[in-house]
Structure 1
Amino acid sequence: MSKQTIGLDSQLYNYLLSVSLREPEVLQKLRYETANHPRGNMQISPEQGQFMRLLIQLLGAKKTLEVGVFTGYSSLSVALTLPADGKVVACDVSEEYTAIAGKYWHLAGVADKIDLRIAPAIETLDHLLATGQAGTFDFAFIDADKENYDGYYERCLQLIRPGGLIAIDNVLWSGDVANPQIQDESTQAIRGINQKLRDDERVNLSLIPIGDGLTLALKRG
């Protein structure tokens, strides 16, 4: 037993992976390629990808949202777990980064499950709402520009069904959220959404110290 979450040094983290990680080869190849990318630190960790796959299974999800694709590790993780008729609506603004994602989506045979929308995510989410898709999604993953997290959250909350789940990434922000001396716009935005979620009675809440911090918000009925 422990009265608080333990920290993970490199030795313990590597042990964690050695006894629990079941990473499909295509995901491993994508992770290795992204590790050499100039912005490779934006990729989620493999144990977080596996955790998200488990969440998709537990939800019985078929229709999901992703806000922020980058090179596609999280969307590929989800798509591999969805049933044959499942769908990921994936929002990003970068054709360059998502070109890498598309290569691996095709390699994994799941490209037909992923509907990539290249546009500001707020516009895509508003379009989904305007076309009558509120309450039709099972799961949403938010991992994009932090300044718009609140706007993404509010729209995703409308788009997912009661009992659906929103997962919000980077909520611990490398520890900067706990340092009052750090007051840049992104850090303040994350602090703001964290405080808002704590008091939001529309959802049930848990913040998981996996990766860079992952908040799970379950929409109440």
Structure 2
Amino acid sequence: MNRLIARSIFLSTKYVKPVPSYAFKHRYATFDVNDKVGNPNGRLRVEESHYCDNISSPFKEPYGNILKALNKETEKKFDNPHMMVCPVQAKFLYQLVGILKPKNVLEIGGFTGYSAIAMGAALSPDSKLLSLELEPKHIAVANRFIEEANLQDKVSVKEGPAGDSITEIANESPKKQFDLIFLDADKGGYIDYYEMILSHNLLSDHGVIVADNVLFYGEVHKVVDGYDGYDGVSHASKNVKRTAKKVDNFNQHVFKDSRVEVVVLPAFDGLSFIRLLSTLNLMSSVDVYNNANEALKTLSNLWQAMLQLISAVSDASASSLTVEPDLVKHQKSRKEYEELKTSLNATIAWLEKNKLTDLDKNKESKELSISLQQHAELQEESSVVSDKLKKMLNQSYALQFQMEMLFTSSQDISLN
């Protein structure tokens, strides 16, 4: 949750007075609202959270008791304990890690480590979880309880702004990828974090991004243009409404992104599950540039092959003594030419597809534009040479016919 707006959901614009943060229990986390404030018509169904928690399998020890102790200390030390996920959501994250069996997990927005410990408890022996957190005071609590849970070899916390930390991870380990990324930081930064994840290729091919609070107290759908199911009465503060708009911007951004597919679930405070459609669309400008050069090499090889064929046909035309072997050579070369042409067409098709993708997503590099221009010019020249080759080959076929007639005539003369 956004720390700056954490309390504002509890305020009514009309008749409810501010409530001190200590009056709220962490048990419901983002459900921690009542019917009067921010929960019209029981939108968040608080009592069902009680029920679901009670009938969900408890954490194995020592994790269950450690999480309870962390819960109490966070409530005691900080005025925003509701920034932790609720117990049943922690159990859900634990189950998700158990199902996906990720090798590397990234948490963006760790707070005091409640969700990190919940996920860490399900990690396999060789798996790692990295949690990003801004506040040193939160990290101190998180590290102490991580050690108490004996998870220090699997779970670590990195201090600093999330954006800077993501960049550092990408720079220090360019090939590092995460199979599960839990996004639960400041809502206004969701789009930036999301784009950094994809641009740095931090999400593995079969990885999942789980974004929390994407319905934000049930206010997000009310800020969507054209929404007509709302009666106009809201007890949420202006700050919450502004944040709800930012969350909707993120939801729309992901929904319109052709690189991924997403499903948004009305569970907890709203969860988005995001996965890549294809790693092909994540190729960087450098990758496409390199493939452009490969295409140019293929074109160059084709051009050289055609020039050799033209030279061979010319030589054959000048010498009747070697014309038959040369024509056999021409036929073989022509087959090689057709194979090269097929390969070239496939390369060009791939290049054009990726060129469009990269231009749309990354505004293409200058080097790639130059290479593509060279590719177009070379393709045009090769087409001209190809036409000349066809004419020469036709001439060689005519020459072959004439030579066959000549040989036949010579044989007839010899017999006579």
Normalising by structure 1, what TM-score?
A: 0.88
Partner of 1:33: 73
Q: Specify the SS of the correspondent of 2:153.
A: helix
Equivalent residue of 1:112, what SS?
A: coil
The higher-RCO structure (CA 8 Å, 6+ apart) is: 1
C-alpha distance after superposition, 1:50-69 (max 9, x if no partner): 11112112211121111111
Which structure 1 residue ranges, 4+ long, deviate > 6 Å from structure 2? none
Selected match of 1:159 from 196, 199, 202? 202
Deviation sequence 1:119-162 (CA, Å, 0-9, x none): 11111111222234456211111111111111111122320101
Which shows bigger deviation, 135-144 or 196-205?
A: 196-205
State, as a whole percentage, how many aligned pairs show the same letter.
Answer: 29
Which has the larger share of helix? 2
| 1:200 pairs with 2:257 | yes
The 5-angstrom pairing of residues 40-189 of structure 1 reads 40-134=81-175, 136-157=177-198, 158-180=201-223, 182=238, 185-189=242-246
Structure 2 counterpart of 1:17, one-letter code: D
The CA deviation at 1:72 is 0.6
Counterpart CA distance in 2 for 1:39 and 1:21 is 27
What is the rounded CA distance, in whole Å, between the counterparts of 2:259 and 2:183 in structure 1? Answer: 18
Q: Provide the rounded CA distance (Å) in 2 between the counterparts of 1:78 and 1:133.
A: 25
| Alpha-carbon separation, structure 1, partners of 2:141 and 2:176 | 31
SS in 1 for 2:219: helix
Q: Which has the higher strand share?
A: 1
Aligned counterparts of 1:127 and 1:74: Cα–Cα separation in 2: 23
1:134 and 1:160 in contact (8 A); partners too: no
Displacement of 1:199 after TM fit? Answer: 2.2
Is the 1:125–1:156 Cα contact (8 Å) retained in structure 2?
yes
Q: Answer with 1 or 2: which has the greater Rg.
A: 2
Deviations 1:69-115 (A, max 9, x none): 11111111111111122111211111101111111101100022123
Moved more, 78-87 or 129-138: 129-138
Query: Aligned equivalents of 1:114 and 1:18: distance in 2?
Result: 27
Distance 1:145 1:12, change over 3 A: closer
- State the distance in 2 between where 1:106 and 1:90 align: 14
Show structure 1 runs of 5+ residues with no match.
Answer: 1-5
Q: Pick the aligned partner of 2:56 from 20, 37, 49.
A: 20
* Number of residue pairs matched by the alignment: 216
Distance 1:119 1:11, change over 3 A: closer
Q: What amino acid is aligned across from residue 97 of structure 2 in structure 1?
A: I
Query: What is the aligned counterpart of 1:214 among 260, 267, 271?
Result: 271
Amino acid at match of 1:57: G
TM-score (normalizing by structure 2): 0.49
Encode CA deviations 1:155-192: one digit per residue, 9 max, x unaligned.
Answer: 22320101101011111111221333857543222110
How much does 1:210 deviate?
2.4
The 1:92–1:8 alpha-carbon spacing in structure 2 relative to 1, beyond 3 Å, is closer
